[in-house]
Amino acid sequence: MIEIRWHSRAGQGAVTGAKSLGDIVATTGKEVQAFALYGSAKRGAALRAYNRIDDKPIITHEKFMNPDYVLVIDPALAMTDDITMNDKETTKYIITTHLEKDELISQIPALQDKADRVYVVDCIEISLDTIGRSIPNAPMLGAFVKVSGMFELDYFLENMKRVLAKFPQKIIDGNMQAITRAYNEVK
Amino acid sequence: MAEKFDLNEREVWDGNYAASQALRQARVDVVAAYPITPSTPIVENYGAYVANGYIDGEFVMVESEHAAMSGCVGASAAGGRVATATSSQGFALMAEVLYQASGMRLPIVLTVVNRALASPLNVRGDHGDMYLGRDSGWIQIDAFNAQEAYDLTLCAFKIGENHDVRLPVMVHQDGFITSHTAQNVYPLSDEKAYEFIGDIVPVDDMLDFSRPVTYGAQTEEDWHFEHKAKQHKALMDSRPIIDEVFEEFEKLTGRKYNRVEGYDMDDAEVVIVALGTTVETARVAAQELREEGVKAGVVGIRVFRPFPFDQVRDMLENAKSIAVLDRSSPGGAMGAFFNEVSAALYTTPNRPLITNYIYGLGGRDFSVSEAKRIFLEQKTNVDAGHITTDIQQFSGLRGPHLGYFQTKRS
């Protein structure tokens, strides 16, 4: 089973991102789960969203997980939230930031022995440039596709169009660009 | 005529979406609803289907849950297929009318997304509202995941509207853990789903002016008791019909439901008995412990009312130590579910050891590791030959241990 934990603020689209990822992974024949820990959260409040992916039906309903991937879509949460909580020796981190990777890691003690598993991408800037709003979830999906190697980019884009079908073409195009740019820029 | 809704063979839905799609496919005549977290999206989605032309039936917006269920009572007595959704405080406000609906034998379907009852205010999942309904005279069916929330909502119409049943049916799912967790769901086509449920054939409908009838009559000591006895008998007699509907559903989908579900129970010595998503989480723990040689099994109650007393007994009588998990504040007693399972087991020759865990109130996480710990406490009981812990314990509570009562031993 692959487990993913998203760190986000309410309004940044982590829940939608997790559900979109689940939707697309399911088309490959896998079983998925996507959920979030929120409730009365107001916009801007820190929240966590989760994905599970497996070849067989997923019957665990615990919120606890040891994530394989940690996706941080708010730059400040990398500093203030406990992003390494319950991690493993193989956990990979994808963090949205305008900083260079070395600069970021130097500011987060918990990441200092994990540098080879940390990836950075500026999802905020990418979403502002492509979608016109600070919606860092779509670029994070592009970065995840690259880092995980779970899909070919084209396959992911085609399926994402289906997930976004109810939106105007301009929004769909913006999301496609955001995903592609983050795929190419994550490092 | 309603627009066609495009569905894929495999969808990724949360429990709320699954329930709202089942209501759409059932071609409900009247939904009267007042949204409340975490069941709000059922009503929201349904409202969107209405607005977008996918539904021919009426959607009645009301001013409270009391009015929602009252609207359902009127529409059902008139002869329509009727459904609504609620949770927690809304359920509590509906409580008065729930008894009216069942006493009038109206086959309303209520999708309940379980949530804790205030105070303190809490929007998350526990079974307090489900327990509040347990003497209301409704059939109560429990889904453990989103697929089941969909399947069992379809079954609920077919069970409740059966002329040998004529009772309202609740379909429960866990707040957030099921209602807001997206997972793979394999829906039926609209045609297949509707064909399975069939048209409603009303009994004594008030809109049949050629044959006037009265609903909600008054009876005092002359007849009230006989009416309530008939209602209880109807609940008891619904058991074989629930089984028939589940069999028919299996023929259609390959998905088999039972009033009591057993997992790894053939040779189980230590068992967790639970409701809702906990059943599935405990199965993971049981499977992991079996690899370590612990004969662990899980029993889930699919139909909470009518309570499957005999099936619970058959399923559990050869176990050695049983943990019954109540996700509702017990309010000065043993957990109600524990009491019911204990009563069933008291009538067996073996009388296995049985203990009560109160857990997960207000959405507190129930983890695989906690389920394993509970199994291993049962193993300790088996090895010692008696209950080694308090008979009632709180599981997953912060602060000092809380537990009550010990076994009397000579």
The predicted structure's pLDDT at residue B1: 83
- Residue of chain A nearest B115, judged by CA positions: A39
pLDDT of residue A40: 66
- Please report, for residues A17, A37, A98, A136, B171, the alpha-carbon distance to residue A84 in angstroms, rounded to integers and kept in the order given: 20, 17, 20, 20, 39
Helix (H) or strand (E) holding A49: strand A46-54
Strand B182-185 to strand B169-174: parallel, antiparallel, or no bridges (unpaired)? unpaired
Q: If we measure between CA atoms, which residue out of B253, B44, B23 comes closest to residue B157?
A: B23
pLDDT score for B228: 97
Q: Which residues of chain B have pLDDT under 70?
A: none
DSSP result, B80-139: --EEEEE-HHHHHHHHHHHHHHHHTT---EEEEEE-PPSSS---S--SHHHHHTTTSS-E
Q: Determine the Cα–Cα distance for residues A126 and A140; give it in Å rounded to an integer.
A: 10
Residues of A at the B interface, defined by Cβ within 8 angstroms: 18-19, 22-23, 26-27, 31-36, 39-40, 57-64
User: Which of A32, A39, A64 has the CB atom closest to B183's CB atom?
Assistant: A32
Q: Give exposure, B137-154, as e/b (b: 16+ Cβ within 10 Å).
A: bbbbbbbbbbbbbbbbbb
Q: Cα separation of B153 and B99, whole Å?
A: 21
Helix, strand or coil for residue B262?
Answer: strand
User: A-chain residues within 8 Å CB-CB of B124?
Assistant: 39
Q: What is the CATH number of the domain that holds A66?
A: 3.40.920.10
Q: How far apart are CA B43 and CA B50, in angstroms?
A: 10
pLDDT at A166: 85
What backbone torsions phi and psi does residue B27 show, to the nearest 5 degrees? 50, 60
The distance of B184 to chain A (nearest Cα, Å) reads: 6
Residue B303 corresponds to which tokens in the numbers above? 């139909």
The torsion region of residue B3 among left (phi > 0), alpha (psi -120 to 50) and beta comes to beta
Give pLDDT, residue B408. Answer: 86
Alpha-carbon gap, residue B45 to B68, rounded angstroms: 17
The burial class, CB within 10 Å (0-12 / 13-18 / 19+), for B303 is buried
User: Which pLDDT belongs to residue B285?
Assistant: 98
Instruction: ipTM value, please give it.
Output: 0.92
Helices (H), A40-85: 77-80
Domain count, chain A: 1
In B, which residues are within 8 Å of A66 by CB distance?
none
Residue A73 · residue A12 · CB < 8 Å: yes
Which residues are within 8 A (CB) of B11 and not within 5 positions of it... i.e. 6 or more apart? B184, B185, B186, B187
Using a CB-CB cut-off of 8 Å, the residues of chain B touching A62 are 281, 365-368
DSSP bridge partners of A31 = A54
pLDDT above 80: residue A39: no
CB B160 within 8 A of CB B203: no
Q: Least CB-CB distance to A61: which of B123, B177, B369?
A: B177
Which of A26, A59, A62 is nearest residue B12 as measured by Cβ atoms? A26
Domain residues for the domain of A160 are 2-185
Q: How crowded is residue A156: how many other Cβ atoms within 10 Å of its Cβ? A: 22
Pairwise CA distance, residues A122 & A101, whole Å: 11
* B16 touches B45 (CB < 8 A): yes
Residues 6+ apart with CB under 8 A from B210: none
- The pLDDT assigned to B178 comes to 97
Cα dihedral B121, B125, B127, B133, rounded to 10, equals 70
Q: Taking a C-beta distance cutoff of 8 angstroms, is the pair B241, B159 a contact?
A: yes
Inter-chain CB proximity A62 and B368 less than 8 Å:
yes
pLDDT of residue A37: 80
Question: Which residues in chain A touch residue B280, judged by CB atoms under 8 angstroms apart?
Answer: 59-61
Which chain A positions have a beta carbon within 8 Å of B283's beta carbon? 59
Q: Cβ distance B4 to B39 under 8 Å? A: no
Sequence-ordered list of residues with C-beta below 8 angstroms from that of B180, at least 6 positions apart, any chain? A35, A36, B14, B15, B16, B38
Q: What is the pTM of this model?
A: 0.96
- Which domains does chain B show, CATH number per domain? 11-253 (3.40.50.970), 260-404 (3.40.50.920)
Q: Do A26 and B10 touch (CB under 8 A)?
A: yes
Q: Do the Cβ atoms of A120 and A103 come closer than 8 Å?
A: no
Q: Which one of A33, A62, A64 has the shortest CB-CB distance to B183?
A: A33
| E-strand stretches of B242-363 | 260-263, 270-274, 296-301, 303-305, 321-326, 353-359
B354/chain A closest Cα distance in angstroms: 25
Report chain B residues whose CB lies below 8 A from the CB of A39: 37, 123-124, 176, 363
* 3 state SS for B167-188: CCEEEEEECCCCCCCEEEECCC
**For residue range A60-118, what is the model confidence (pLDDT) as tens digits?**
999 999 999 999 999 999 999 999 999 999 999 999 999 999 999 999 999 999 999 99
pLDDT of residue B409: 80
C-alpha to C-alpha distances, B196 to B108, B156, B164, nearest whole angstrom? 18, 11, 17
Provide the mean pLDDT of chain A.
94
The amino acid present at B217, given as its one-letter code, is: A
